[in-house]
Amino acid sequence: MTVGFSGDVAEYYARFRRGYPEQVLDALAEYFALDPDDLVLDLGCGTGQLAVPLASRVRSVIGMDPEPDMLRLAREAALRQGVGNATWVLGADSDVPALGALLGRAPSLAMTVVGQALHWMRHEDLFRELLPLFRAGGGVAVVANGTPLWLQDSAWSRALRMRLERHFETELTASCGTAEQDRLRYARTLEAVGYADVRTTTVSYDDELTFEELIGSLYSAIPANQLPPPSRRPAFADGIREALPQEERFTEHVEVSVLLGRVG
C-alpha cells in the first residue's frame, strides 16, 4: 500500500483528476497496432483513467496498482461503465516479474502504459523486465498528463503555488515526471535497454476549471498524510480562493506527452 493515494485522496482522484483525450488513446492504438485480440497492462492505473477507456479497444486490460483504494475505485468505474474485460491487480512495478510468470512463456502483452506514475518506479529495471513480455511490435508508453496545477505558466497557477508554499512551508518544484528532462531521461533509458523506434507524441488542448474542480484536483495531488482533515478543508479552500485572481473559471493549457518505444 502507498500512503500517498489512500482514503479521501483516492476519492478526489476518481472524481476530479483529468482523464485523457481520445487522441491519446488513438496514438497508442496506432503505434502499437492494437487489435481486439490484444492484452494490455496499465501499470500505476490509479482510478482507471487509461485502463477503463482502453478496454473497448482490446481483448483484455490488466490494471495494476499498489494502492487498494485506487484499485477499488477503478474497478467501480469499470463496472459503472459496463466494462467487463478489465482485471484489477494489487501490485507495484516490482511485481512485474511475477506477472510475467503468470502470463507464461509466450510473449503476450501488446503494451504497458504508465500514466503519470513512472516517477515512483525503478524505470530502468521495469523497462528491462517488461521486454520479454511483449508480442512483436508491442512495447511501453509513458504518458505525462500535463503540468501540475501549481507549476503552470499563468497568474492563477503562480498565485496557487505561492499560497501552497506558504501553507506547506516548502518550495514546490517537483514536476512529477512531467518535465522535458524527465521525458528525455526515460527515452534514453528505453533506447539503452533495447527498445526501438523511440519517439514522443504530444496532444495539447485548453481546459477550464471551476474553483470546485480546481480544489478537487488539487486534493487529488496532495499526499494523504498531508491532506487537511475534513474539518479544516473549508478554511483551507477559502485561503486558496482568496489568494487566486477573482475569476469564475481557471484556464489551463494541457500538454499530454506520450513517450513510445517498442520491441523490434
**In what helix (H) or strand (E) does residue 62 lie, and over which residues does it extend?**
strand 60-65
Tell me the H-state helices in the chain: 8-16, 22-31, 51-54, 68-80, 96-103, 123-130, 155-168, 180-193, 211-219, 233-243
Q: Say how far apart CA 227 and CA 230 lie, in whole Å.
A: 9
**Between residues 101 and 106, which has the closer beta carbon with respect to ligand SAM?**
101
118/248 with CB nearer ligand SAM:
118
Q: Are 8 and 224 in contact (CB under 8 A)?
A: yes
Instruction: For residue 253, give every residue at least 6 positions away whose Cβ sits within 8 Å of its Cβ, in sequence order, or none.
Output: 152, 153, 154, 204, 205, 206
- The grid coordinates listed for 42 are 496499465
Single-letter code of the amino acid located at 178: T
Q: Which is nearer to ligand SAM, 145 or 242 (CB)?
A: 145
CB of residue 145 to ligand SAM, shortest distance in Å: 6
Q: How far is the CB of 133 from ligand SAM (least distance, A)?
A: 16
Quote the least distance from Cβ 175 to ligand SAM, whole Å. Answer: 13
Residue nearest to ligand SAM (CB): 46
Nearer residue to ligand SAM within complex by CB, 49 or 147: 49
List contacts with ligand SAM (CB under 6 A): 2, 5, 17, 43-46, 49-50, 65-67, 70, 92-93, 115-117, 120-121, 145
> How far is it, in rounded angstroms, from Cα 203 to Cα 256?
5
CB of 39 to ligand SAM, least distance (A): 18
CB 50 → ligand SAM: shortest distance, Å? Answer: 6
Considering beta carbons, is residue 83 or 264 the nearer one to ligand SAM? 83
